[in-house]
Amino acid sequence: MKHNKFLHTLESCWLCLRFPFLYPRNRFTGRHRVNVLHRLLSRLRGNSIQEYSITAELEKETNKKKYYHTFQAFMDTKVELKKDENKLVIWNNIEKKEHDLKSLLWKDDIFEILGIEVIFAVLGHPIIRVIIKLKDETDKTNYGFHYEKVELRTNKFKHFWYKVFDWIDSEIIDRILFIPTYTELDALEPGWYKAFGIQLCKELRTQLIKDHYLFKYRITQIKEKWGYLHWYDCGGSKELHAILEKYEDISYKTCIVCGKPATKLTGGWICPYCDEHFPKDHTVYQEREASGEWKVVNENYL
């Protein structure tokens, strides 16, 4: 596990060739991630695009006389509500967009649009609320509404380069030129990696080939939790998950530092350790007997 960067990159390439599911991918988009390019894209996007969230809010005090806006101006942006067309028009000095409210007001025949208001989240982007009321005042249903998103360009030059680099990332790097400097397996605890990491991948590959799912299988996260291996993925057969369950049980009895059989469990943050690597300043939570069973040593941690 402790290689220099060049050797570790070579090892990562070899592992990804053997086990395609170990390629590091974004857990939400499924795309490969090159950190330098990802940071550049994030900066360019943040400096060239403004996001707006749109949601609806049910006006409950309809008996009071209130003035509702159909036009709002804030920062460099203007928003106009077109009631008759169930649309919002959002524009700045670079771009103008229309947003249809039919999907937001999923039962638009029972709602009447009153107006709009703009609020600003402390750390987020502007939120445009569409104020509505029920046409049937006897309807006491507590309706909820989702959020929709609109994006406007704020800088043509930076947005152009954002689109160029995003195309390079998605169409070239993601498909051809991606060289992994690490693998998903690097998230495995060092002791577990040493004890069964490669063997686990071999068994998974064998099962995935049987399932005709080798190049579709995706890992979303690998981590230690409650002293066990937690391996999260996107799909897989019952046989595949039976393999994972087997190694989850093995992990609970394997030292996370060196891979030797675990003899003790720490309290608080539960982790299995051998005698050599058990934290000396830590009170034992459970200790493993010769039979392989765990016995409680300090009940204060239970």
Average pLDDT for residues 19-42, to the nearest whole number? 76
| 269-283: pLDDT as tens digits | 888 888 888 887 777
Looking at the structure of the chain, the number of domains it has is 3
Q: Are residues 18 and 51 in the same domain?
A: no
Domain-located, residue 102: yes
Six-digit token string for 247: 């190694």
Q: Are residues 76 and 151 in the same domain?
A: yes
| 142-181: pLDDT as tens digits | 788 889 999 999 999 999 999 999 888 877 777 666 677 7
**Average pLDDT in the chain:** 84
| 216-251: pLDDT as tens digits | 888 888 898 888 899 888 878 889 999 999 999 889
Helix (H, G, I), strand (E, B) or coil at 266: strand
Q: How far apart (Å, rounded) are the C-alpha atoms in residues 117 and 88?
A: 12
Specify the higher pLDDT residue, 13 or 34: 13
Per-residue confidence band for 302, with pLDDT thresholds at 50, 70 and 90: very low
pLDDT at 159: 95
The last residue of one of the domains, among 96, 126, 157, is 157
Pairing of strands 284-288, 272-273: unpaired
Q: Are residues 204 and 288 in the same domain?
A: no
Domain-located, residue 166: no
Domain-located, residue 174: no
Domain-located, residue 171: no
Beta strands in 138-227 (DSSP E): 148-153, 219-225
> By mean pLDDT, which of 41-55, 87-101, 211-225 is the weakest?
211-225
Residue 191: which domain range?
A: 5-31+180-251
Q: Are residues 55 and 20 in the same domain?
A: no
